[in-house]
Structure 1
Amino acid sequence: MHTIEHDVERPDRETVEAFEGIPSTIVSDVTGNVGLTMDAGMRPAYEGVEMAGTAITVKAAPGDNLIIHKAITMAEPGDVLVVDCNGYTDTGHIGELMCESCKANDLAGLVIDGGYRDSREIAEMEFPVYGRGVNPQGPLKQDPGSVNVTVSCGGVSVDPGDIVVGDDDGLAVIPGDGAERVLDLAHEKLESEDETREAIRDGTYLFELNGYDELFENLEVVGPEDSIQ
């Protein structure tokens, strides 16, 4: 069954833009690390990438990009296409010209759990793209697929309207209805890290600052004499 949903409830644009420049590591920390951070296999097409935008989700058949072309026409400025291709990397589902179209229409980026191609050209145009691999093989155009349904990308469940933040470290997802709370927590975390950084530069160890010394004291530490002979 194929679904095309045109109506997407997007967070306030100012809220989305406020995530620009906030590291994915910070977003991951304040959202609880597990479940909202995409896996390490989702890598950027070039170094120095920064991305924050609202998810337009796409469920595409592995090896076919017809529905991705359709989704590009449905996206609005500031959106990120989040494409679920079941991790299939034997086809380059998107390439230079599709990314040029996305960039010309002010999309914030494209994330594909699958393969893409024209990696050099995409890097040169500096359009944020993340994928699971690169393959020169071209795709088919015979399976409609779905747009704006819940998808799985990088091991994370993504809904249309969620916010996706990306940089060189990877990708983190923020549920659209919790964006403002996550933004507040992110700023608090950044301020806390600034204070910690100053303490570190003064010679204090993280081991002490974070109370790891107390955790360590409660562990049962063994030495070579305790090993099984």
Structure 2
Amino acid sequence: MHTIEPDVERPDRELVEAFEEIPSTIVSDVTGNIGLTMDAGLRPAYDGVEMAGTAVTVKAAPGDNLIIHKAITLTEPGDVLIIDCDGYTDTGHVGELMCTSCQANGLAGLVIDGAYRDSREIAEMEFPVYGRGVNPQGPLKQDPGSINVTVSVGGVSVDPGDIVIGDDDGLAVIPREGADEVLERAHEKLSAEDSVREEVLEGEYLYELNGYDELFENLTIVGPEDSIQ
């Protein structure tokens, strides 16, 4: 069954923009590493990428981009297209012209669990694009798909209206419900790291500052003499 839902319940734009200064690593830390960071196979098209936006989700047939073209027309400034192509990399589903259209209409970025093409041009235009690979093969335009349904991208379930952030380290998803709390915890984490950094610069060790020495003392240490001969 194919579904097209034109309306998305978006979080407040100021809240989304506030995540532009939050690293993906911090989001991972404050959400307890519970699977809200996408896998390492999704890489940015260029170095120095920074992205934060509201998810508009797409479920596309591998090798076909007709539904992606439709989805672009349903976006608003500040959105991020989150495209589930089942990780298919034998076709470049998105290219420079589509990304130019996204950029011209104010989108914050595009994430595709599949391949894209025109990688050099996309990198030069500095429009945030993440994908699982690059392939020059063009797509078909004959299969239907779904827009604004729950998708799985990079091993993470994404709902329309979730906040997605990206940087050089990768991608993190913040569910729309509870995003305020995640932002608050992220600022607390950043402030705490600033304090720790000052101590580290003075010569202190994270091993002791974070209490890892106590953890180490509770371990059973095995030496070469304990190995099985």
Common topology (TM > 0.5): yes
In the other structure, the counterpart of 1:220 is 220
Distance across 2 between alignment mates of 1:8 and 1:96:
26
Amino acid paired to 2:68: I
Q: What SS is found at the alignment partner of 1:177?
A: coil
Distance across 2 between alignment mates of 1:47 and 1:34:
26
RMSD: 0.5
- Structure 1-normalised TM-score? 0.99
CA deviation profile, 1:173-206 (whole Å, cap 9, x unmatched): 0000111000000000000100110010011100
Verify: 1:143 aligned to 2:143, yes or no: yes
In the other structure, the counterpart of 1:67 is 67
Q: How many residues of Structure 1 are paired with residues of Structure 2 in the alignment?
A: 229
Structure 1 segment 126-137 matched on structure 2, within 5 A: 126-137=126-137
Distance across 2 between alignment mates of 1:52 and 1:60:
22
Q: What SS is found at the alignment partner of 1:32?
A: coil
CA deviation profile, 1:75-126 (whole Å, cap 9, x unmatched): 0000000000000000000000000000000000000000000000000000
In the other structure, the counterpart of 1:210 is 210
CA deviation profile, 1:63-83 (whole Å, cap 9, x unmatched): 000000000000000000000
In the other structure, the counterpart of 1:177 is 177
Q: Quote the offset at 1:35 in angstroms.
A: 1.2
Give unpaired runs (5+ residues) of structure 2: none
Q: Quote the offset at 1:34 in angstroms.
A: 3.0
In the other structure, the counterpart of 1:40 is 40
Give unpaired runs (5+ residues) of structure 1: none
Identical amino acids, percent of aligned pairs = 83
In the other structure, the counterpart of 1:153 is 153
Q: Quote the offset at 1:225 in angstroms.
A: 1.2
- Structure 2-normalised TM-score? 0.99
In the other structure, the counterpart of 1:4 is 4
Q: What SS is found at the alignment partner of 2:90?
A: coil
Amino acid paired to 1:181: E
Distance across 2 between alignment mates of 1:29 and 1:129:
24
Verify: 1:57 aligned to 2:57, yes or no: yes
- Which consecutive segments of 4 or more residues in structure 1 shift more than 2 A? none
In the other structure, the counterpart of 1:186 is 186
User: Which one is further off, 19-28 or 92-101?
Assistant: 19-28
In the other structure, the counterpart of 2:109 is 109
Distance across 1 between alignment mates of 2:7 and 2:73:
14
